[in-house]
Amino acid sequence: MKLLNNEKFYVGQEIFIESCPDFVDNAVVFEDNRETGYFYAIERMKSGKLKILDAVNIYDVNKVKDKEILSEIKIFWSDNFERAALFINDYCHAIMDFKNKLGLCRTEFPHSSQTWQNGRKKLTDKDVEKFFNN
């Protein structure tokens, strides 16, 4: 496992965090647009443009009770850069699996994109354990 990003932020503060290893086409982005927090699976096209492959909801800002507390984001990648995991305050909220075209999140929302697996699988602690043991 490789920790590529480690940043502090406040929920509801506009933020855009890219995690893009230079030597692969896969990338992930965490975005808080002041209303919601989302985690995106991205493909970097040869043209330089970014293509969203899938997106998962992490939170709705108005439902987060401790917005005034400084939070910490960590983005981990598997050694082969086929999977990325989003942690906020040391709790895994989502995993993007590029090999299996699967986005996992605790909220099971929204439905998967048409290019990735249909249906949304809920992220479990067992999935997180598997992520770190493979």
Domain that holds residue 64: 2-133
Residue 54: CB atoms within 10 A of its CB come to 24
pLDDT digits (tens, 9 = 90+) for 62-78: 999 999 999 999 999 99
Number of domains observed in the structure of the chain? 1
Would you say 86 and 28 are in contact if contact means Cβ atoms under 8 Å apart?
yes
pLDDT at 118: 61
- Has residue 87 got a pLDDT over 90? yes
Least confident range of 42-46, 77-81, 112-116: 112-116
> Which one, of 133, 33, 15, lies nearest residue 83 by Cα?
133
